[in-house]
C-alpha cells in the first residue's frame, strides 16, 4: 500500500521578501548603534582634547607665573606677535631655597627667557612648544645669545624642558614697569570637525625692590 504525504502551506522557510525586510531592519538598527557610538566617541575626544588644553594652559600659567613673581626685573619682547617673549631676571642670593635681599636690595642673578619654538628650541624659529632659555647676562634676547634649556620642565621632578601644544604666549606690562603684568597662555584643540581655543590669563606682581 502506498502512502501519500502532503506539506501544509505554513511549513515553509523565509521568502525572499521576508529576508529583505529582516536585513533592512537589522541595517537600521546597526546604523543607529554606529551613530550613537560615533557621537559618543567624538564627544569623548572633544572632552579629552579640552582637558589637555586646560592642563597645558594651567601648568604654563602656574610655573611661568611663579618665575615672574620672583623676578627683580622683567622685559617683554616681540618676535612674531606683540609680547610673545618674556625675559625674567631672578635674584642672585638665596638661603634655604628662598630668595633674600642683600643690604635691603635684590641683586641680579639668573636670566631666563620664555618663548614658543619648534623641537629645536631655537629662538629664531616659531612653533607651539613652550621653551625656557638662558641668557648669560641682562641683555635683550637674540638667536645668538639664547641657550635653550632642555632640562627645564613645567612638571615637578620632570626632565623634559618642553610642553605642547601652546598656540600663543603673551605678556603685557600693567602700570609701572616694576609693578607687574598679565600673562596669557592659549592652547588650541580639536572640537568636532573644527578647532577651538582655550585662553587663560593670570595677573602677576614682581618681587622687585631694586638691585
Q: Is 24 within a domain?
A: no
Going by pLDDT thresholds of 50, 70 and 90, the confidence category of residue 211 is very low
Identify the CA nearest to 187 among candidates 131, 128, 133.
128
Per-residue pLDDT, 41: 65
Q: What is the pLDDT of residues 135-158, one digit of tens each?
A: 998 889 999 999 988 777 554 455
Residue 87 domain flag = yes
**Counted domains in the chain:** 1
What local confidence, expressed as pLDDT, does residue 113 receive? Answer: 93
Q: How is residue 105 written as a grid cell? A: 636690595
Q: Is residue 78 part of a domain?
A: yes
13 in any annotated domain: no
- Indicate whether 144 belongs to any domain: yes
Q: Is residue 201 part of a domain?
A: yes
Domain that residue 180 falls in: 42-205
* Burial class for 118, CB neighbours closer than 10 Å (0-12, 13-18, 19+): middle
Asked, for residue 156, whether it belongs to a domain, the answer is: yes
Does the pTM surpass 0.85? The reply is no
Within a domain: 32: no
Least confident of 50-64, 99-113, 136-150, 163-177: 163-177
Scanning the structure block, which residue is given the C-alpha cell 557621537? Answer: 39
H-run or E-run covering 141:
none
pLDDT tens for residues 170-187?
988 776 555 788 889 998
Degrees to nearest 5, angle at CA 203 with 99 and 145:
60
Amino acid at each position: 500500500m502506498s502512502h501519500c504525504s502532503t506539506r501544509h502551506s505554513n511549513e515553509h522557510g523565509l521568502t525572499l521578501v521576508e529576508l529583505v525586510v529582516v536585513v533592512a531592519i537589522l541595517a537600521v538598527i546597526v546604523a543607529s548603534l554606529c551613530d550613537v557610538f560615533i557621537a559618543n566617541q567624538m564627544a569623548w575626544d572633544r572632552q579629552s582634547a579640552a582637558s589637555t588644553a586646560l592642563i597645558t594652559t594651567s601648568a604654563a600659567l602656574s610655573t611661568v607665573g611663579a618665575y615672574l613673581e620672583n623676578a627683580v626685573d622683567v622685559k617683554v619682547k616681540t618676535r612674531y606677535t606683540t609680547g610673545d617673549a618674556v625675559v625674567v631676571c631672578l635674584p642672585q642670593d638665596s638661603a634655604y631655597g628662598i630668595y633674600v635681599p642683600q643690604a635691603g636690595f635684590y641683586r641680579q642673578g639668573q636670566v631666563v627667557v620664555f618663548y614658543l619654538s619648534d623641537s629645536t628650541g631655537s629662538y629664531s624659529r616659531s612653533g607651539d612648544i613652550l621653551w625656557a632659555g638662558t641668557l648669560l647676562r641682562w641683555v635683550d634676547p637674540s638667536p645668538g645669545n639664547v641657550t635653550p634649556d632642555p632640562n627645564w620642565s613645567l612638571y615637578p621632578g620632570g626632565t623634559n624642558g618642553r610642553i605642547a601644544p601652546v598656540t600663543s604666549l603673551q605678556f603685557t606690562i600693567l602700570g609701572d614697569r616694576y609693578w607687574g603684568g598679565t600673562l596669557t597662555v592659549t592652547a588650541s584643540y580639536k572640537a568636532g570637525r573644527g578647532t577651538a581655543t582655550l585662553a587663560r590669563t593670570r595677573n602677576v606682581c614682581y618681587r622687585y625692590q631694586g638691585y
